[in-house]
């Protein structure tokens, strides 16, 4: 069990650029979640996958955001035409299918928009 891995740890980009983050979950976990955390707040749910299927998206996920999990393993989160308000920590978590099982989080990708 190597834990949830996220890359990169930090991303600095100019407003209007596209960015992509990667998450590698714990290998036997079927569910993968993305959250966004802004300074002084708790994480907010963005979307989740069960295997390769994206089953729910939050209203926070505007049409500039897209997430994929093509083979049911790693996932990518892309933000197009970044805006200042996108600056945040993006967290990935994974869990097994069994109800009530806790989610295991990665260390996050911190996005800073110049």
Partner 1 sequence: GNSVTQMEGPVTLSEEAFLTINCTYTATGYPSLFWYVQYPGEGLQLLLKATKADDKGSNKGFEATYRKETTSFHLEKGSVQVSDSAVYFCALSAIGTASKLTFGTGTRLQVTL
Which residues would be at the binding site for partner 1 (CB under 8 A)? 4, 31, 33, 35, 40-45, 48, 50, 55-56, 91, 93, 95, 99-108
Rounded to 5 degrees, what are φ and ψ at 7?
A: -140, 145
- Token digits for 69? 């999990």
Least Å distance, CB 13 to partner 1, is 21
Least Å distance, CB 72 to partner 1, is 15
- Token digits for 51? 């295997």
State which residue, 48 or 82, has the beta carbon closest to partner 1.
Answer: 48
For the chain, percent helix, then strand, then coil, each to nearest 5? 5, 50, 50
Least Å distance, CB 37 to partner 1, is 8
């Amino acid at each position: 069990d190597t834990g949830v891995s996220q890359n990169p740890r930090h991303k600095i980009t100019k407003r209007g650029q596209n960015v992509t983050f990667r998450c590698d979950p714990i290998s036997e976990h079927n569910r993968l979640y993305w959250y966004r955390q802004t300074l002084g707040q708790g994480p907010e749910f963005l979307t989740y996958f069960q295997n390769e299927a994206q089953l729910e998206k939050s209203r926070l996920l505007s049409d500039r955001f897209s997430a994929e999990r093509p083979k049911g393993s790693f996932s990518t989160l892309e933000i197009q035409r970044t805006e200042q308000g996108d600056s945040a920590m993006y967290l990935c978590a994974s869990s097994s299918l069994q109800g009530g099982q806790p989610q295991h989080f990665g260390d996050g990708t911190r996005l800073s928009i110049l």
